[in-house]
Structure 1
Amino acid sequence: MNPLLDKLQPYPFEKLRLLFSGITPNSAYSPISLGIGEPKHPTPPFIQKAIADNLGGLANYPATAGSDALRAAVAGWLERRYGLPPFNPATQILPVNGSREALFALAQAVIDPSRGDALVMCPNPFYQIYEGAAYLAGAQPYFVNSDPGLNFAPDYKSVPADVWPRVQLLYLCSPGNPTGAVLTLENWKELFELSDRYGFVIAADECYSEIYFKEDAPLGGLEAAHKLGRTGYPRLIAFSSLSKRSNVPGMRSGFVAGDAEVMKKFLLYRTYHGGAMSPPIQAASVAAWNDEQHVEENRAKYIAKFKQITPMLQEALDVQLPDAGFYLWAKVDKRVAISDTEFAKRLYAEYNVTVLPGSYLAREAHGINPGQNRIRMALVAEVEECLEAAGRIVEFAKKLS
């Protein structure tokens, strides 16, 4: 077996299962989970219909590059959403089976393991796929801690000068999971200058981009590059997904877009890897990317939900409305005298509510675990269920304090 598999840590939800083992939650309360970021709003009927109407496509092998119609729909969405100049759908866009598999696969195509000292730079806390992708590509992850003083942006200025020449791939997530932070144009400018100097590829994970709470939509990586005059998006690959935007996590549909030279190699890798998208899913994806009304309605539901729940939780926890995304990233050590893992364990036992300990979403790096004494709450269910969960969390936290 591949010995690199032994470097993979248990997934956060496996750690949570072990944390809860042997616990029988209080039966006076119905179970509510805020632990997993799986959208629970209904899937739009027109997307379901598009799948049903195109089942005849199951009789055909799909091309890895996807259909012309799908690439054109993605190009159109990128141009409308970010104010970008026309994309070349044939060379700058690839459909993928959800951003997760593509985030993993990109490292396998980008990393040169023969160098022996290759690094993959990751934010901390982070989406665990980044770490696994680094190890399986023969590289080592290098974690840059998110700084609450920088609106939870990774503090790249803290990285020693001798680290940057070893970096071959840099993952970032904006809006961030779990913090909800959005990178600024100045943040992007700093990263682009580093990429120019050291030659690494930037993988911009933007799957939460369409759930936001401010008037202006979150800045995207391709948008930042365009504003900074970076024609052709050198060494930049953006990842997006329909899962959160359109409430279709089971469809496994997204895309990657950016630097045509990187995309050419990535297409070659995916052709061998077997990364083609099913034709009915492609047809449904075309319908989803071409419609914004359902996205606006979905966003309005999140805005209303967070507007009610954030002030409730602020009565007992140190928590703020994020820039974007559907998570609340709350600090528990100021007002309660227990750790994030103990908080999650006792909340589950006493109130039958599941949240994810923040330390499970990060690694100890540079002397600290930046997720320690925080909890992530995924407000993905309908508002009534989230309100009920928030009420229980407040009652539990007040009891502790």
Structure 2
Amino acid sequence: MNPLLDQLQPYPFEKLRQLFAGITPDPAYRPISLGIGEPKHPTPAFIQQTLADSLGGLASYPTTAGSDALRATIAGWLERRYGLPKLDPATQVLPVNGSREALFALAQTVIDPSRDALVLCPNPFYQIYEGAAYLAGAQPYFANSDPARNFSPDYKSIPAEVWARVQLLYLCSPGNPTGAVLSLDEWEELFALSDRYGFVIAADECYSEIYFKDVAPLGGLEAAHQLGRTGYPRLIAFSSLSKRSNVPGMRSGFVAGDADIMKKFLLYRTYHGSAMSPAIQAASIAAWDDEAHVAENRAKYIAKFSQITPMLQQVLDVALPDAGFYLWAHVGKLTTLSDTEYARRLYAEYNVTVLPGSFVARDAHGINPGQGRIRMALVAEQDECLEAARRIVEFTQKQANRR
């Protein structure tokens, strides 16, 4: 067996299952889960219909590069969304089976394990980054988020000898779980470090279309263009239809950026067997070409967050995020409970599931930046999320009275 597999930690939801082992929640409450970031809004009918109408394509093997039509559609969306100059669909865009598998695969493409490689990850983070690092023969290096910096890591504090070993840097903007969006100044700082040390930047942007302000979140390719970085050197952006269009089961996304890296990535994927079904490609074209359903989806999240955030602020240290569909809350405003004990008691007493923050972070540089926090995914319909929020408020107030 591959010994690198032994370095992998259990996934957060396996840890959650173990945390809840032996608990029977109060049957007076129906179960509500805010634990998993799986979109629950209905899939638009036109996407479903396009998928059903395209099943004739199942008789053919798809190419790893995807169809010319899909790549051109994705390039067009990037140009409209981010104000980019015309992209070359043949060399700068590649469809993938969801951003998750592509985020993992990129590390296997760009890491040279013979050079004592590091993969720099935000902390807290999406666990795929860590697994990708280990299985590529590298070690993760965690950059802790700082609440005082809108949960951005202080990249300036990372020693030069660490940067010299970094071959890949994962970013998530808007962030999971914090919802923070990188500023142009932060992008400029990271591009300068990439130029100095030669590492690749993987910009995970799968939450980019769920936001609460009038201005859409800045993307990595957009930042590079605004800073005059022609050709997007050492930058690969990842996006997905899962959250944007409520189609997580389609497993459809794309990568775009540096053509030299994309050429090697396509070679890797050709051997890996990562071609997208023709039916999924057709449905993806329909989804990327339509913005009306995206605006409707965003409006639902705005309505939920505008009601639920003030409710939870009564009992938790929490603020409206820049974007995304998570609330990243500290439980210590009224209680002395740890994040794991808070989640465990909330489940037992009120049948609401939240994810302990320490499950999506690692002990690094003397702290676990997820400790004392919980992640709540407001992915269900509004009434269900409001009911969960009411229970959380009642539960937390009870804990405060027990102090």
Do both proteins adopt the same fold according to a TM-score greater than 0.5, normalized to the shorter chain?
Answer: yes
Q: Name the counterpart of 1:139.
A: 138
1:266 maps onto 2:268 in alignment? no
Q: Secondary structure at the match of 1:265?
A: helix
Q: Name the counterpart of 2:218.
A: 219
TM alignment of 1:171-250, pairs within 5 A? 171-250=170-249
Per-residue CA deviation, residues 69-93 of structure 1 (Å, 9 max, x unaligned), is: 1001100000000000000000000
Give the length in aligned residue pairs. Answer: 400
Q: Name the counterpart of 2:39.
A: 39
Q: Deviation at 1:114? A: 1.4
Question: Retained in 1: the 8 A contact 2:330–2:372?
Answer: yes
Q: Deviation at 1:43? A: 0.0
Measure the CA separation in 2 of the matches of 1:238 and 1:231.
Answer: 15
Measure the CA separation in 1 of the matches of 2:341 and 2:82.
Answer: 43
TM alignment of 1:84-163, pairs within 5 A? 84-115=84-115, 117-163=116-162
Per-residue CA deviation, residues 39-76 of structure 1 (Å, 9 max, x unaligned), is: 00000000001110000100000000000110011000
Q: Name the counterpart of 1:314.
A: 313
Q: Deviation at 1:158? A: 1.5
Question: Retained in 1: the 8 A contact 2:70–2:282?
Answer: yes
Q: Deviation at 1:161? A: 1.4
Q: Secondary structure at the match of 1:294?
A: helix
Q: Secondary structure at the match of 1:89?
A: coil
CA RMSD, Structure 1 to Structure 2 (Å): 0.4
Q: Deviation at 1:334? A: 2.9
1:330 partner letter: A
Q: Deviation at 1:157? A: 1.2
TM alignment of 1:355-374, pairs within 5 A? 355-374=354-373
Question: Retained in 1: the 8 A contact 2:194–2:201?
Answer: yes
Q: Name the counterpart of 1:303.
A: 302
Measure the CA separation in 2 of the matches of 1:271 and 1:345.
Answer: 44
1:2 partner letter: N
> 5+ residue gaps in structure 2?
none
2:392 partner letter: I
Q: Deviation at 1:155? A: 1.3
Measure the CA separation in 2 of the matches of 1:193 and 1:9.
Answer: 33
TM-score under structure 2 length normalisation: 0.99
Q: Secondary structure at the match of 1:57?
A: helix
Q: After the TM superposition, which segments of 4 or more aligned residues of structure 1 sit over 3 Å from their partners?
A: none
Measure the CA separation in 1 of the matches of 2:332 and 2:165.
Answer: 36
Q: Name the counterpart of 1:334.
A: 333
1:187 partner letter: E
Q: Deviation at 1:320? A: 0.2
Per-residue CA deviation, residues 353-373 of structure 1 (Å, 9 max, x unaligned), is: 000000000000000000000
2:316 partner letter: L
Q: Secondary structure at the match of 1:35?
A: coil
Measure the CA separation in 2 of the matches of 1:371 and 1:21.
Answer: 22
Q: Answer with 384-393 or 156-165: which moved more.
A: 156-165
Measure the CA separation in 2 of the matches of 1:237 and 1:2.
Answer: 28
Q: Name the counterpart of 1:257.
A: 256
Q: Secondary structure at the match of 1:388?
A: helix
Q: Deviation at 1:290? A: 0.2
1:11 maps onto 2:11 in alignment? yes
Q: Deviation at 1:332? A: 0.6
Measure the CA separation in 2 of the matches of 1:33 and 1:207.
Answer: 21
Measure the CA separation in 2 of the matches of 1:338 and 1:86.
Answer: 52
Q: Deviation at 1:333? A: 1.7
Question: Retained in 1: the 8 A contact 2:315–2:333?
Answer: no
Q: Secondary structure at the match of 2:39?
A: coil
> 5+ residue gaps in structure 1?
none
